[in-house]
A and B are shown apart, each in its own frame.
Chain A
């Protein structure tokens, strides 16, 4: 799923509310029939929703390996954790090389990889990606989006928040568009491509 919208339309607010950093004053959020609004962030992660934030939130003085392993903080199955770490290294081979380096010393693109990899390590049921292309060079953006598609194909539900409409539309199945804090469009991608007025108003082509 892709959540699209202009700057300040409320995308990050939604993501942070789902993750528990913001508490809604009205209304409820349900996840698999369970009310999750009002739960603290760590419980949300436990429920299976993992967020990869827009800012590359890392542990700068820990190694790449430690950073990734911390993603599996709530898990107890050691063998599976090791296997998942391997999967992450396959998605991002560069991280295997820089395995023992301190995360703070990596480049922007590499840090974003650690960010995403760490998120994967929690085996989320819902994977929230907040503008993963933000502040990255275009080549790396393409790489990251390819990997996101691969992750989705491996069975993980992804909610992708993006300003980069074109790239998001390439890989999304379902699209939400938010404007001024309200969802104004929610439809399958194929249908949207056919609706000319929606395309022109919200998506810009």
Chain B
């Protein structure tokens, strides 16, 4: 049972890790948070469903479309709402409210258009294919999710460390004034980061499609993403990924050994404990940044 919980935890953990990655790159580069991130996750799932199940396009194309649409939403959100907010006051409260407003709007729209009545569950990609490891089972769907998620993380890592834009993102997150002095368009990087993060969020929604039920309240996963990011260290990219897996595994373990009731509150406990005792994140060591 333990091993089964571990395996399932890895699968859901990989999704949390991707989401946490999206949260951290925005926070690192722009010191802001996107409270509509959960809704973008949900939109990704629905788009994926619509295009894959109804338009019956092949999965790789669905993947690309979902990613692009996610990026577009992030871009529009950043340009449209955030630019004006930053011009006006630039405080985090304003950004939170603006993005929360967007998320409320999206959720209301989905419920208004009664989309729930049309869509229910994502068809499995590999029906009835499973892999047995000892007593535990991992479905082929789950395995694929895990692999694709890991692949995305690796691609992102290479992108971040070795490409010019990646270096620009690093520069902006360390010192945006120096970045301007060097010729980097800081607003451009802001837009890029938000787009990328939203794209990743949408992809995560698509990936998780075959595994869980899709519904307009899916965005609640935002809290687990935040918990994962905080556990790993909000300014720490490998930490975020680590945090995601930790949250996924702990959730399953808690459900197995404590009670299913406790699963819901576990991420919040984690946030409280980490922020009080090790605010820079469990996975960060050495330099302690001021919280």
Contact = CB atoms under 8 A, between A and B. Distances in A.
Contacts of A66: 167
Interface of A: 19-21, 40-42, 45-46, 50-53, 57-62, 66, 70-71, 73-74, 118-119, 122
A17 to B, nearest CB: 14
A62 B184 contact: no
Nearest to A57: B178
A42 B180 contact: yes
Interface string B157-198: 000000010011011001101111111111110000000000
Chain B interface size band reads 10 to 19
A23 B163 CA distance: 32
Contacts, number: 59
8 contacts: A21-B180, A41-B181, A42-B188, A45-B181, A57-B175, A60-B174, A74-B182, A119-B181
Interface of B: 164, 167-168, 170-171, 174-175, 177-188
Which 4 pairs, one residue from A and one from B, show the smallest C-beta to C-beta distance?
A57-B178, A45-B183, A41-B180, A74-B183
Given A46-B183, A122-B183, 12 more contacts: A40-B187, A41-B186, A42-B180, A42-B183, A59-B171, A59-B179, A66-B167, A70-B182, A73-B182, A73-B183, A74-B183, A119-B181
A60 B183 contact: no
B174 A61 contact: yes
Contacts of B184: 42, 73
B173 to A, nearest CB: 9
Given A59-B170, A62-B170, A73-B168, A53 B182 contact: no
Contacts of B170: 59, 61-62
Nearest to B170: A62
Contact of A62 (B171, B183, B186, B188): B171
Given A62-B170, A66-B167, A53 B175 contact: no
B174 A62 contact: yes
B185 A19 contact: no
Contact of B164 (A20, A71, A73, A118): A73
B180 A59 contact: no
Contacts of A73: 164, 168, 182-184
Specify which of B179, B181, B186 lies most central, judged by the most chain A CB atoms within 10 Å of its CB.
Answer: B181
Contacts of A59: 170-171, 174-175, 178-179
A19 B181 contact: yes
A122 B182 contact: yes
